[in-house]
Amino acid sequence: MKQITISEVGPRDGLQSVDTILSTEGKLTWIEAEYGAGVREIEVGSFVSQTLLPQMADTAAVVKGARRHTDLVIAVLVPNVRGCEAALEAGAHKISIPLSLSETHSLKNVRRDHAQMLEEIAACQALVSQVPEADRPCFEVGLATAFGCTIEGAVDEAFVIDMAARVLEMGVAEVGLSDTTGMGNPAQLERLVTGIWQRCGESRLTGVHLHNTRGQGLANALRAVELGITTLDSSLGGLGGCPFAPGASGNIVTEDLVFMLASMGYSTGIDLEALLAVRHQVAALLPEEEWFGFTASAGLPKHFEKMPMREAS
């Protein structure tokens, strides 16, 4: 049975886009509940300026709290080397820095152009490589706006592949492909994935971060797993929506993604019934926010076969 890792990004991508500031306790309740449903990789927050994103101010405490499970991969996002230092100190297992292929988006998002971002990535890589190998977190560059940009429009595919090769040559463990703006389609995803694989090797790109802004999220996810991508980011209830498209969901909805994969016979280690219960539990913590997803509204079909769930440690 083919294994797919679902990386839950709701506590980061979802919470950073909503107004509600969830307490540390609330975040840990969410993480704990998803762990209980079999989720083993969670992006728990980001180490960013507290003035810019007060929702993420307690990320160090959240990482520390989540570390009680020895088999949970704790991922965080960092915009710069200062964030990377904080992530290492807190004990994150996976550190991701976004490199926006659209330079205009990069300047707007992290106030750095490509040359400055490459310097920042090199500094993070140097820092991470000082950690003894046994404890060294996985350092990943997220290729943001790889499928198109709301400001610049089309993003040149050859440029995406070149930039992937450039950061991988710097020693970064992996790149991830991000459809930040939800503009991608399956054919484009295939060209980008195979382009990076041919140039840099399959082991250097194993995960994709897809948004469902235009309803293409699951189609793109399906193409990705058929190609051989093994990690998919998604968000419980598609939390966060899309700041550029009111009414549209943000990340792909974890519940719908797990339903698709389980129905096709892929193993995610997640108990979908338990996950649907987690959705209700977390929704109660965030009563002001909009929740997306079809599986939760329609319910599981009678003949839905439960997949084996991971044992808790």
Given CA atoms 117, 122, 128, 130 in this order, what sign does their dihedral have?
A: negative
Q: Rounded to an integer, what distance in angstroms lies between the CA atom of residue 306 and that of residue 278?
A: 17
CB of 209 to Zn ion, least distance (A): 6
Only one of the segments 12-20, 48-56, 64-72, 114-122 lies at the binding site for Zn ion (rule: CB under 5 A); that segment is: 12-20
CB of 146 to Zn ion, least distance (A): 12
Residue 13 near Zn ion by CB under 5 A:
yes
- What is the distance of C-alpha 121 from the center of its chain? 18
- The nearer residue to Zn ion, 249 or 307, going by C-beta atoms, is 249
CB of 98 to Zn ion, least distance (A): 9
- What is the distance of C-alpha 187 from the center of its chain? 21
* Residue 92 in tokens: 């994150």
So which residues are the catalytic ones? 242
Residue 256 near Zn ion by CB under 5 A:
no
Residue 41 near Zn ion by CB under 5 A:
no
H helical segments located in the chain: 24-36, 59-66, 81-90, 103-110, 114-129, 157-169, 186-200, 217-227, 254-264, 272-285, 295-298
- Write phi, then psi, for 311 (nearest 5 degrees): -80, 145
Number of residues near Zn ion (by CB under 5 A)? 1
- The nearer residue to Zn ion, 13 or 174, going by C-beta atoms, is 13
- The pattern of x and - marking residues 71 through 100 that bind Zn ion according to CB under 5 A reads ------------------------------
- The nearer residue to Zn ion, 262 or 282, going by C-beta atoms, is 282
Residues that bind Zn ion (CB under 5 A): 13
